[in-house]
Structure 1
């Protein structure tokens, strides 16, 4: 069921953000531009001959290895990776419609969190539009599971994420955190939490062409018994997992429900997002 509440929003003016890409290690630049009502979030590559617009939605996801990558199923080159932090920042800023031009195949990682993007979006200013915002209300439990990891969304009057993180590693261990959108400040509580990685995995990831742009400036590095760089929160790891859930769930636009996740990653998030989309399409038909 869709609920119509306040007006949709877009940016007042264009923003340009530059930085290094987390996985490719290449320099990247994106232009975030105001978009018309009911556009949603649309990406396209500036470096390709064809301007292939790729809408941020579950059906556009083409890769889920260590990030969320969307792309065209017809033009293989037209893909954009590591969109999840930017998507979370867009959600948190209250924007509904945006066109995003990307200089290459990946989004800049900035500091490994969503906060720098959030700051830029708010600084630019938002413009209210005429059409009402449509928010999808979850009316029955939907879930996805893989082995001992799962994620579910339950009917709820609001948007809430309860996440349980459990790593067989002394620095992370088990932790739990809950984010409720209507009662907590996304910018302060969630958006600043950075991505993290293990020192023991760096060489293997590099061999796979991943994390080539990773550094202490854009990720928390975890050694056998400590983090190399200081944490922003005592439980930064679980907060970052919630940030990823926010970004991946925004593939369906704004939704209302209570998400409960245990040890879930991008693959499970998108599996749940696909199931939610099926329900949305059923109602539209």
Structure 2
């Protein structure tokens, strides 16, 4: 099933829970995915006991810090961090409506990839709702640059990612991943790619209160002599760029609806992904909101029709 080519909105069939360690806090975190009604979108709730501390719709206007991860909210006491791996799984599987209840300040890192969240959603399955899905179709190029880094959206008949990284590290170097995004492609080629980091950065991150839960169980760690410390090695020979692509999928899901277009980036990351998405949604001539004109499960892009954004407005607060 292609991303954005299912005619009707979905949610999950039943609630499902997971628990693990927060990669930055080092604390135990539990989350529960709960079904939601059509047009609810993806909603995150930070919960303390039985009380909801804060609630955020997973849209770009709610994104705060993007330095080390993607954070919803602007106050540490209410925000929810490290949502990108969860959102990548939700987006890739075509889940439109969902409540994510979080008992903690960040999502559990699990094994550092999206695979555990894919497994949890597939365990309960999806439910198709009787409301048409809407999409954001890119109409013209939109590009942002920062130093040697850049990201851009381009018109495309489908949903495509082309991500390139370039590290001053012999083990990583210059890598790229290109492909049309489907649930099957994401599961096979991207979902198991883990977050990664360098040993030389660990003490600095610890001193700033970050990466307290990072370990060889949830991160690929590169030593000072440019070798992978993890005993099992890499899951893919180019796992680094695959994880950067996974992050981009999660970050761009914050458009609030599947996008139809091509996303390209060079030396990007959470911040560049967020800037590119903001630039696209700020330019109302660069996209249109569309939905299917057919009731069939799969539809060609030519069968998409423009509609008024109305209350949908995934890019508004």
Task: Name the residue aligned to 1:212.
Answer: 212
Which of 226, 233, 238 aligns to 2:241? It is: 238
Structure 1 residues 2-81: aligned runs within 5 Å = 6-47=7-48, 49-71=51-73, 77-81=77-81
Q: Judge which range, 241-250 or 183-192, deviates more.
A: 183-192
**Residue ranges of structure 2 left out of the alignment (5+ in a row):** 289-308, 311-317
For 1:51 and 1:168, the matched residues in 2 are separated by 42
For 2:24 and 2:253, the matched residues in 1 are separated by 22
**TM-score between the two structures when normalised by the length of structure 2:** 0.85
SS at match of 2:197: strand
Answer yes or no: is the 8 Å Cα contact 2:29–2:104 preserved in 1. Answer: yes
**TM-score between the two structures when normalised by the length of structure 1:** 0.94
For 2:167 and 2:76, the matched residues in 1 are separated by 35
Task: Name the residue aligned to 2:166.
Answer: 166
Answer yes or no: is the 8 Å Cα contact 1:44–1:78 preserved in 2. Answer: no
Return the offset for 1:279. 3.6
Answer yes or no: is the 8 Å Cα contact 1:4–1:132 preserved in 2. Answer: no
Answer yes or no: is the 8 Å Cα contact 2:45–2:52 preserved in 1. Answer: no
Return the offset for 1:158. 0.6
Task: Name the residue aligned to 1:272.
Answer: 276
The alignment covers a number of residue pairs equal to 281
Q: CA RMSD in A?
A: 1.9
Return the offset for 1:144. 1.3
SS at match of 2:7: strand
Answer yes or no: is the 8 Å Cα contact 2:43–2:58 preserved in 1. Answer: yes
Return the offset for 1:184. 5.8
**Residue ranges of structure 1 left out of the alignment (5+ in a row):** none
> Deviations 1:41-85 (Å, cap 9, x if unpaired)?
1101111845532011111011112100001x5x66221000000
Q: Per the alignment, do residues 5 and 122 of structure 1 end up closer, same or farther by CA in structure 2, a change over 3 Å counting? A: closer
Return the offset for 1:183. 9.3
For 1:212 and 1:280, the matched residues in 2 are separated by 41
For 2:192 and 2:77, the matched residues in 1 are separated by 31
For 1:148 and 1:185, the matched residues in 2 are separated by 29
> Deviations 1:213-233 (Å, cap 9, x if unpaired)?
000110000012210110000
SS at match of 2:250: helix
Q: Per the alignment, do residues 17 and 280 of structure 1 end up closer, same or farther by CA in structure 2, a change over 3 Å counting? A: farther
**Does residue 261 of structure 1 match 2:265?**
yes
